Amino acid sequence: MSPHSAEARAIADLFDQTLIVCGVLFVVVAAPLAWALVRFRARGTQEPPQLHGSTRLEIAWTIGPLLVVAWLFALSVRAVGASDPPTDHEPDVVVVAHQWWWEARYPSGAITANEIHVPAGKRLVAEIRSEDVIHDFWVPQLARKVDATPGHPVRIWLSADAPGTYDGACAEFCGAQHAWMRITVVAQPEQEYEAWLRHQLEPASVTLGVEATRGARFFREHTCAECHHDGPAPGPNLRHMGARTTLAAGLLDNTPENLSRWLADPQALKPNSHMPSLQLRAADVDDLVAYLEGSR
Ligand code: CUA
């Protein structure tokens, strides 16, 4: 309802136009019907006159709807073209759907999860992929909805005409945690975006206190780093995790308390997710929280 890109505006306009056409049709049909119900209601026991056939009326109510449908079809064809024009360059960001989170890979090598940053006012080509089952990328204020099908990457335009955060979700049932597969697009002024992108390639600027140092070692030496590492990985890249707004693809606000709960028993919070409950000791959880929340 509040589009923030040319592509999304084309879809919103089609909705408005269709709503107006259907609203007028509703009145055109419902008003005479209501009038007829009152005007020709039964009076006493006398049967009203029975009429059969009217060539003029039948021609009118065949041609009228035909023209309306043809008009809606033309509007739809125009909107499809405007909301999904062909892309003309290699992807600026590759968005990979996983059960149940989103990965964003940038050509520079930066990788993030569940939060895609884009420069406001610039049109990007986004390639949408899936690593496992069919998902569907949908950020309604910015772009068309598009399936993420394994082995069949597709490209769409992704842009936001003003800085802001734009929420999206997986829109194709993809398993137990389909509902918690949220995505946020963060549109920033171009310089801010460039700085963000550069920072993603740098080591996290974590102040390594005693706890965070222990947490970093634990992360490297135990199973965490097997799934959460740089490069295409089975789990989200956590290098700058402390700077993200949510945990577990939108399930929890990113706070130290919530991260503790999550690390202590992810299966209790997001059953069937591929993050196992590792029965970590409370002290190890505290160390990991200090390390991960400090990684910005
Ligand atoms: Cu992924 Cu629904």
31-50 pLDDT, tens digit per residue, is: 999 999 998 887 878 777 78
Å from CA of 173 to ligand 1 middle? 5
Report pLDDT for 253.
92
Report pLDDT for 181.
96
Å from CA of 181 to ligand 1 middle? 6
* 53's tokens: 């056939």
Asked if residue 173 has its Cβ within 6 Å of ligand 1, the reply is: yes
Å from CA of 178 to ligand 1 middle? 4
Report pLDDT for 95.
96
Report pLDDT for 63.
95
Report pLDDT for 40.
83
What is residue 23's three-state secondary structure? helix
pLDDT above 90 (res 202): no
Q: What is the mean pLDDT of residues 165-192?
A: 96
Q: Are 247 and 235 in contact (CB under 8 A)?
A: no
Nearest atom in ligand 1 to 179's CA: 2
State the Cα–Cα distance between residues 219 and 261, nearest whole angstrom: 17
Average pLDDT, the chain: 92
State the Cα–Cα distance between residues 25 and 201, nearest whole angstrom: 56
The protein residue with its alpha carbon nearest to ligand 1, atom 1, reads 135
pLDDT above 80 (res 204): no
Query: pLDDT-based confidence at 241, cuts 50/70/90?
Result: confident
Å from CA of 146 to ligand 1 middle? 12
- CA dihedral for 22, 24, 28, 30, sign (positive or negative): positive
Report pLDDT for 99.
93
Q: What is the mean pLDDT of residues 39-65?
A: 86
> Any residues with CB less than 8 A from the CB of 109 and at least 6 apart, and which?
201
Å from CA of 227 to ligand 1 middle? 20
Q: What is the DSSP letter of 193?
A: H
pLDDT above 90 (res 208): no
Å from CA of 73 to ligand 1 middle? 30
Report pLDDT for 223.
84
Asked if residue 148 has its Cβ within 6 Å of ligand 1, the reply is: no
> Any residues with CB less than 8 A from the CB of 87 and at least 6 apart, and which?
125, 155, 156, 157
Query: pLDDT-based confidence at 294, cuts 50/70/90?
Result: confident
Q: What is the DSSP letter of 230?
A: S
Query: pLDDT-based confidence at 28, cuts 50/70/90?
Result: very high
State the Cα–Cα distance between residues 24 and 28, nearest whole angstrom: 6
Q: Are 105 and 113 in contact (CB under 8 A)?
A: no
Closest to 97 in 3D by CA, of 58, 135, 138? 135
Asked if residue 96 has its Cβ within 6 Å of ligand 1, the reply is: no
Asked if residue 78 has its Cβ within 6 Å of ligand 1, the reply is: no
The 10s digit of each residue's pLDDT in 136-161 is 999 999 999 999 999 999 999 999 99
Question: Would you give the end-to-end CA distance of the chain in angstroms?
Answer: 34
